[in-house]
Structure 1
Amino acid sequence: MAKAGTKGVARAQRERQILDIAGRTFAEHGYAGTSLATIAADAGISKPLIYNYFGSKQGLFSACLTRAGETIAGVIENTAELGHVGPEQAILSLDRIFAALHGHTWMWRILRDPTMPPELTAQHAHYQNRMHTVGAQGVADMLRKADNHDPLDASALTAAWINVFDALVTWWTDHPTETPHAMTQRAARLFTTVFGPLDLDELPLNNR
């Protein structure tokens, strides 16, 4: 594991290094099970340096949460802007999530940490809402294409869609030997099994 305490490293770079190390530790042990002493030792820095940069353990977790949320929500939002609909959009979103989180799966895990302090609930909800908004819009577009305008159908399918997406990414984080390429191919196979033949040749996949 790379240390963050190297002299001469620019502050912004050192902060990113600390967040990577802290994020992995938070993801493995949860907020409640993580101490600043452990993070400082893993990063090769002092606890006072963490306090200087982030203010507190909660401040450090909040910074990790911001980096994770902006990364993941940004990928999902940017993918939605490409205009694909239905399973094709889902596969493309998964493909880009796998690419963005390769080597940084801690970002996905800390967004699902049940032990995070309640003071960060609003921050967490902000990123969850951004992602869910994209999912709901994708489902609405898919149903509209099928001439289905039932709001309860949309609500039920959105819940199912989000849970399938979450389950696939979480499964990936539980199987660290699976490459982004393998996961994109697996998602394509599974979605093809469920939905039938899909038009994947035109998708700008990273992990084709």
Structure 2
Amino acid sequence: MARPNAGTKGVPRLDRESQILDVASEHFGTHGFTATSVATVAENAGISKPLIYNYFGSKEGLYEACLDRGGALLADEMERVARGEAVGIERGMLTLGALFDLLEGRRHLWRLFFDTTAPSTGPIRDSVALYAGRIGRLADEGVGELMALAGNEDALDVSAMTSVWLGIVDSLVNWWIDHPDETADQMMQRCLRLLDALFGDAGTTGSRAEPHA
């Protein structure tokens, strides 16, 4: 009798790869690279361990594939917001709302890019750098617009504020991950309240009606 996790007949390769990446991303993002084994991913995906090696080559190759898929989802969504008409604080809040919506039900994707146990050289390093670069450029662009609206186009000020903004986003997403009962909409409303507390109603003008555009 065949083992229950051995067969893949009848499932197209792309569908099977997607299933494996769903399971692997959750394990890597929740438990970390070192604590996740290929055997565990295979068991939870209901397939054989050799099939993972056949598709991805190695545990590192599997992790890289998770990074590439997760990074593309995050960067594509931020770029979608950037193509809109919003600028300044409104663009920042729309970006946050889009992130929360995208990560709802798969918050583990965020932590794939901050795993200190993952290899820091080779293709994994290159994947992290690629998507960090795409996201960083979008942040720099958005912050530059915000600073220009305030009459400040000093390059170092923009650089410093971009670092601040990226730190705020990371802190908010990680806080949200640590509070799993908080929905994406509840988290967005919390962010709007925090912005009001810092800057008053002017800070969220134009952002209240469509926080998840």
Same fold (TM over 0.5): yes
**Equivalence for 1:70:** 72
Instruction: Tell me by how many angstroms 1:203 deviates.
Output: 5.6
| CA distance in structure 2 between the aligned counterparts of 1:199 and 1:73, rounded to whole angstroms | 26
For this pair of structures, how many residues does the alignment match? 205
Q: Is the 8 A contact 1:4 1:17 kept in 2?
A: no
Q: Residues 70 and 203 of structure 1: is their aligned pair in 2 closer, same or farther, counting only changes over 3 Å?
A: farther
Q: Is the 8 A contact 1:5 1:14 kept in 2?
A: no
Describe the superposition over 1:56-106 as per-residue Cα deviations: whole angstroms up to 9, x where unpaired. Answer: 111110110001100111111111111312221121111111111111112
Q: Residues 160 and 49 of structure 1: is their aligned pair in 2 closer, same or farther, counting only changes over 3 Å?
A: same
Return 5+ residue gaps in structure 2 as ranges. Answer: none
Q: Is the 8 A contact 1:20 1:104 kept in 2?
A: no
2:86 corresponds to 1:80:
no
Instruction: Tell me by how many angstroms 1:116 deviates.
Output: 1.6
Q: Secondary structure at the match of 1:92?
A: helix
2:100 corresponds to 1:98:
yes
Residue of structure 1 aligned with 2:179, choices 175, 181, 202: 175
**Equivalence for 1:143:** 147
Residue of structure 1 aligned with 2:109, choices 104, 107, 110: 107
The 5 A counterparts of 1:153-172 are 153-172=157-176
Instruction: Tell me by how many angstroms 1:7 deviates.
Output: 4.6
**Equivalence for 1:205:** 211
Q: Is the 8 A contact 2:71 2:131 kept in 1?
A: yes
Return 5+ residue gaps in structure 1 as ranges. Answer: none
| CA distance in structure 1 between the aligned counterparts of 2:79 and 2:26, rounded to whole angstroms | 25
The 5 A counterparts of 1:20-39 are 20-39=22-41
Q: Aligned letter for 1:73?
A: A
Instruction: Tell me by how many angstroms 1:204 deviates.
Output: 3.9
Describe the superposition over 1:139-166 as per-residue Cα deviations: whole angstroms up to 9, x where unpaired. Answer: 1111111111212211111111110011
**Equivalence for 2:17:** 15
Q: Is the 8 A contact 1:85 1:138 kept in 2?
A: yes
| CA distance in structure 2 between the aligned counterparts of 1:4 and 1:165, rounded to whole angstroms | 42
Q: Residues 6 and 180 of structure 1: is their aligned pair in 2 closer, same or farther, counting only changes over 3 Å?
A: farther
| CA distance in structure 2 between the aligned counterparts of 1:93 and 1:188, rounded to whole angstroms | 13
Instruction: Tell me by how many angstroms 1:127 deviates.
Output: 0.3
2:123 corresponds to 1:127:
no
Q: Secondary structure at the match of 2:35?
A: coil
Q: Aligned letter for 1:13?
A: D
Q: Residues 77 and 16 of structure 1: is their aligned pair in 2 closer, same or farther, counting only changes over 3 Å?
A: same
Q: Aligned letter for 2:105?
A: G
Describe the superposition over 1:165-185 as per-residue Cα deviations: whole angstroms up to 9, x where unpaired. Answer: 111111111111111111111
Q: CA RMSD in A?
A: 1.9
Q: Aligned letter for 1:143?
A: M
Instruction: Tell me by how many angstroms 1:194 deviates.
Output: 1.4
2:200 corresponds to 1:196:
yes
